[in-house]
Amino acid sequence: MADRPRTLVEKIWDDHVVASEPGAPAILAIDLHLVHEVTSPQAFTGLRARGATVRRPGQTVATADHSIPTLDPSLPITDELARKQLAQIEANCREFGIPFHGKGSPTRGIVHVIGPELGLTQPGMTIVCGDSHTATHGAVGALAFGIGTSEIEMVLATQTLLQRKPKTFQVEVTGRLQPGVGAKDVILALIARIGVGGGTGHVFEYTGEAIRALSMEARMTLCNMSIEGGARAGLVAPDETTFAYIKGRPYAPKGAEWTAAVARWRALPSDPGAAYDRSIVIDGDKLEPMVTYGTNPGMGVSIGGRIPAPADVDPAAREELERALAYMGLEAGRSIAGQKLDVVFIGSCTNGRIEDMRAAASVLNGHHVAPGLRVLVVPGSQQVKAQAEREGLDSVFRAAGAEWRESGCSMCIAMNGDQLEPGQYGISTSNRNFQGRQGKGGRTFLASPLTAAASAITGVVTDPRTFASLASPAAATQAASPAAEAN
Amino acid sequence: MPEPFSTVTSRVIPIPRANVDTDQICPARFLKITDKAGLADALFFDWRFTPDGAKRVPPSFIDEPRNAGRQILLVGDNFGSGSSREHAPWALRAWGIRAIFSTSFADIFKGNALKNALLPIVVTPERHAALTAALAASPDGEWTVDLASQKVTLPGGDSFDFEIDPFARKMILAGTDEIGYVLSQLPAIEAWEAAHPARVDTREGAAAR
């Protein structure tokens, strides 16, 4: 098997197969299990019922992000169910010996932000979490995917999962991204092209010149939304950018272990001639800022585009588009730019990292948000929040009239009180525009932090390239400055 | 522990929608529970009720009076996309659904459904069209799904075979718990762990900071 050229995914897979009986899925070893308050309680209950323990608490880590308020943390949590859920994860972690980055901890945050930020997420690992955006961690060259609660219980009890080997899907992005275009636009363009089920049964591996040029955080944005294209995981092969990002982080290998780890990681990238089950090429030079108009992330157009008419699409998709436009209250044929907004949300595991905060601030600096518009900026972790405050970004947001919050999933999933009201339009840097996702009856346009920030100034969906502050977009979207982020 | 499950015979609810995401199946605000109680009411909640909480007129699919008690769904492509929440199959099971026919299911949903003895049955687009036509012709006809023989029988006696993950099938038929199966191979896990030192120790962080 070692003679045949293998892909990155195949190498990680082969490294982690514990056993595989004919006809049965493989037993796959899991290196890191991330846990949060929403999908884990029933798994701990199951564990308790079978009298089991957590097999590897030292390879398990928990935080509170989904239902936690982003308001002043000294205030009591008024939602009784959320309060109970948050108390439960704390109690479960205490009972089973799992490290918990909870309320009040400077290292708390969205599970997919704190994993890489703490250096827990490393190349070549298998990483799982009861959350579909676990694909984020694929940015460092790890096989990372979302699991259900039954599988959480499985991993807690055995530190393994029963898995069938996934197929591979190469997504090559050639050329160079233009100013004002970033990872969010790449992934929205991919999903618009292949559809929300296009990657089902596959794992994406993102390759090509445009991907190599992305910072680690931009790669996280990209991999994060793999699930929106139907792929359970998405990876970028580790390279110098990866190693520079990880080095010196709290849980990163140190000294001789670091040298050995980097040597191991250098062997991970797909071999020349390795075969993928499917592949697609996207011309990075031609990509433009993307915005969604509909009720799934595949319903997107470039910022200069128009909302498609049901008559112009494949007959099989016609009714779905009609329903989406009816829900969104949008007229076919109109430009996506200029659509009116009530709310702007900047944050989430997709775009809640320090580079995203910097990108949004670079546009908002010196401007004020449009009258009547609510603008919510929610850092992805307490460390992102602290870093942004050290850089004075919070002052930029506040001066512009935006709200600056504690970290959490917030309006991406609308479980913590941060939500759209029925009928409201929001432009959001998050990952899902499903009906009701950001609040019952709420209507979402998905976009990049640059586009969301530009739209915050005008109050309508706006091309970020119209703002002069984007003169140096590489600095805003792709600046990798691990030194500035390290604590 | 799951109960062994083999056969369901029921009338069918058609939901001719593609890309039904798990936020539609079970909206996020119902995920604040710490057990599995009350999820039947959450099923397709925002399709069934207006933002003010009134039942929609006409009623949504599962609320149509004729569809009460039906245990089989016929749905569009890519059912269960989006969030990994197992609350989606829990809500479907709590409502009484045991089998779903589609041309495709999202990966995580499919796995979650099988772990809850909810059968995701994949059919070809041609078969799906034929089933849709059969259901339109005989909206109150009963279909039988037999997991043991992997056979679907339609009203009038027509039948066809279906594919399903053979391991999951075995588990569901026997009502066996997958964790028990894996724990029976503990020596293999121990051997792997002995040969592969842990890459991180999440308990060490405090000292490193």
String of DSSP letters for A111-137: HHHHHHHTT---TT-EEEESSGGGGGG
* Alpha carbon distance A126, A109 (integer Å): 21
Query: Is the confidence at residue A236, as pLDDT, over 80?
Result: yes
Omega of the bond leading into B58 within 30 degrees of 0 (cis): yes
Residue B7: φ, ψ to 5°? -135, 140
Determine how β-strand A26-29 pairs with β-strand A160-163. antiparallel
Give residue A462's identity as a one-letter amino acid code. Answer: T
* Alpha carbon distance A482, B53 (integer Å): 49
CB contact (8 A) between residue B202 and residue A58: yes
Angle at A378 between CA A374 and CA A381, to 5 degrees: 175
Alpha-carbon distances, residue A460 vs A44, A336, A430, B98 (angstroms)? 45, 9, 18, 46
* Alpha carbon distance B207, B205 (integer Å): 5
A-B contacts (CB, under 8 Å): 211
* Alpha carbon distance A291, A297 (integer Å): 9
Q: Which residues contact A481 (CB under 8 A, 6 or more apart)?
A: none
Closest-CA residue of B relative to A411 is B28
Closest-CA residue of A relative to B179 is A154
Residue B193 near chain A (CB below 8 Å): yes
* Alpha carbon distance A298, A195 (integer Å): 5
Q: Which two tokens stand for residue A193?
A: 């092209």
Q: Residues of A381-395 as b/e, b for ≥16 C-beta within 10 angstroms?
A: bbbbbbbbeeeebbe
CB contact (8 A) between residue A27 and residue B188: yes
Closest-CA residue of A relative to B185 is A19
What ipTM was estimated for this complex? 0.97
Rounded average pLDDT over A30-45: 98
Least confident span in A12-26, A105-119, A291-305, A471-485: A471-485
Neighbours of B153 (CB within 10 A): 17
pLDDT at B1: 56
Residue A435 near chain B (CB below 8 Å): yes
Residue A20 near chain B (CB below 8 Å): no
Determine how β-strand B99-102 pairs with β-strand B119-122. parallel
Sign of the torsion formed by the C-alpha atoms of B22, B27, B29 and B31? negative
Q: Tell me: the pLDDT tens digits for A421-433?
A: 999 999 999 999 9
pLDDT at A482: 38
CB contact (8 A) between residue B106 and residue A67: no
Shortest Cα distance from A19 to chain B (angstroms)? 7
Q: Tell me: the pLDDT tens digits for A273-310?
A: 999 999 999 999 999 999 999 999 999 999 999 999 99
Q: Please state which CATH number belongs to domain A290-485.
A: 3.30.499.10
Place of tokens 């090559």: A172
3-state class percentages of chain B: helix first, strand second, coil last, to nearest 5: 40, 15, 45
Residue B56 near chain A (CB below 8 Å): no
CB contact (8 A) between residue B196 and residue A29: yes
Query: Is the confidence at residue A200, as pLDDT, over 90?
Result: yes
Residue A329 C-beta-side C-alpha neighbours within 13 Å? 12
Q: Same CATH fold, A290-485 and A8-165?
A: yes
pLDDT at A483: 39
Residue A64 near chain B (CB below 8 Å): no
Rounded average pLDDT over A29-55: 97
* Alpha carbon distance A239, A107 (integer Å): 26
Alpha-carbon distances, residue B167 vs A130, B93, B119, B173 (angstroms)? 22, 21, 13, 10
* Alpha carbon distance A398, B115 (integer Å): 48
Strand, helix or coil for residue B72: strand
Question: How do the domains of chain B map onto residue ranges?
Answer: 7-198
* Alpha carbon distance B83, B105 (integer Å): 13
CB contact (8 A) between residue B188 and residue A24: no
pLDDT at B177: 87
* Alpha carbon distance A452, A290 (integer Å): 11
Shortest Cα distance from B43 to chain A (angstroms)? 14
Alpha helix (H) residue ranges in A148-199: 149-158, 183-194
Query: Is the confidence at residue A28, as pLDDT, over 90?
Result: yes
CB contact (8 A) between residue B21 and residue A296: yes
Phi-psi region of A193 (alpha: psi -120 to 50; beta: other; left: phi over 0): alpha
Cβ under 8 Å to B: A residues 334-373: none
Residue A461: φ, ψ to 5°? -60, 125
The answer to whether the CB of A231 falls within 8 A of the CB of A277 is: no
Cβ-nearest to A99 among B112, B178, B203: B203
Cβ under 8 Å to A: B residues 137-156: none
Rounded average pLDDT over A115-140: 98
Rounded average pLDDT over A93-106: 97
What is the percent of chain A where pLDDT is above 90? Answer: 93
Alpha-carbon distances, residue A442 vs A132, A342, A375, A426 (angstroms)? 22, 10, 15, 8
Q: Which two tokens stand for residue A479?
A: 């600046």
Residue B29 near chain A (CB below 8 Å): yes
Find residue A428's DSSP bridge partners.
A345, A446
pLDDT at A471: 46
Q: Which residues of A touch B81 (CB under 8 A)?
A: 196-197, 230, 296
CB contact (8 A) between residue A148 and residue B78: no
Q: What is the dihedral of CA A323, A324, A329, A330, to 10 degrees?
A: -120
The CATH topology of domain A8-165 is Aconitase; domain 3 (3.30.499)
Q: Which residues contact B96 (CB under 8 A, 6 or more apart)?
A: B40, B69, B70, B71
CB contact (8 A) between residue A196 and residue B108: no
pLDDT at A474: 44
CB contact (8 A) between residue A251 and residue B51: no
DSSP code for A141: T
Closest-CA residue of B relative to A124 is B199
The architecture of the domain spanning B7-198 is Alpha-Beta Barrel (3.20)
Shortest Cα distance from A200 to chain B (angstroms)? 6
Mean pLDDT, rounded, of chain A: 95
Out of 3.60.20.10, 3.65.10.10, 3.40.1060.10, 1.20.1420.20, select the CATH number for domain A167-239+270-286.
Answer: 3.40.1060.10
CB contact (8 A) between residue A27 and residue B23: no
pTM for this structure? 0.96
Confidence of residue A3 (pLDDT cuts 50, 70, 90): confident
In 3D space, the residue among B89, B99, B104, B106 whose CA is nearest the CA of residue B12 turns out to be: B99
Q: Residues of A94-109 as b/e, b for ≥16 C-beta within 10 angstroms?
A: eebebbbbbbeeebbb
* Alpha carbon distance A133, B108 (integer Å): 12
Determine how β-strand B12-15 pairs with β-strand B72-75. parallel
Confidence of residue A19 (pLDDT cuts 50, 70, 90): very high
CB contact (8 A) between residue A148 and residue B85: yes
CB contact (8 A) between residue B84 and residue A130: yes
Q: Which residues of chain B have pLDDT under 50?
A: 206-209
Strand, helix or coil for residue A53: coil
Give the residue from B34, B56, B209 with the most A CB atoms within 10 Å of its CB, the best one to mutate: B34
Closest-CA residue of B relative to A131 is B84
Residue A230 near chain B (CB below 8 Å): yes
The string of DSSP codes covering A383-447 is: HHHHHHHHTTHHHHHHHTT-EE--SSSGGGTT-SS--PPTT-EEEESSS---TTTTSTT-EEEE-
Give residue A378's identity as a one-letter amino acid code. Answer: V
pLDDT at A315: 87
Closest-CA residue of A relative to B34 is A41
Give the residue from B173, B182, B199 with the most A CB atoms within 10 Å of its CB, the best one to mutate: B199
Alpha helix (H) residue ranges in chain B: 22-25, 39-42, 45-48, 87-95, 107-114, 125-137, 166-174, 178-183, 186-195, 205-208
Cβ under 8 Å to A: B residues 61-100: 77-78, 81-86, 89
CB contact (8 A) between residue A29 and residue B182: no
Q: Which residues of B touch A59 (CB under 8 A)?
A: 198-202
Closest-CA residue of B relative to A97 is B203
In 3D space, the residue among A234, A264, A229, A233 whose CA is nearest the CA of residue A246 turns out to be: A264
Rounded average pLDDT over A256-267: 98
Give the residue from A67, A79, A162 with the most B CB atoms within 10 Å of its CB, the best one to mutate: A162
Rounded average pLDDT over A333-358: 98
Alpha-carbon distances, residue A110 vs A133, A409, A486, B87 (angstroms)? 11, 6, 18, 21
Q: Which two tokens stand for residue A266?
A: 């250098």
The answer to whether the CB of B11 falls within 8 A of the CB of B142 is: yes
Q: Which residues contact A433 (CB under 8 A, 6 or more apart)?
A: A292, A294, A295, A296, A297, A299, A444, A445, A446
Cβ under 8 Å to A: B residues 94-123: 104-108, 111-112, 115-116
pLDDT at A219: 98
pLDDT at A480: 38
Determine how β-strand B159-161 pairs with β-strand B151-153. antiparallel
Rounded average pLDDT over A94-101: 98
In 3D space, the residue among A227, A225, A173, A232 whose CA is nearest the CA of residue A202 turns out to be: A232
The answer to whether the CB of A36 falls within 8 A of the CB of A92 is: no
Neighbours of A79 (CB within 10 A): 16
Closest-CA residue of A relative to B78 is A197
pLDDT at A344: 98
Cβ-nearest to A162 among B86, B182, B188: B182
pLDDT at A73: 85
Query: Is the confidence at residue A469, as pLDDT, over 60?
Result: no
Residue B69 C-beta-side C-alpha neighbours within 13 Å? 7
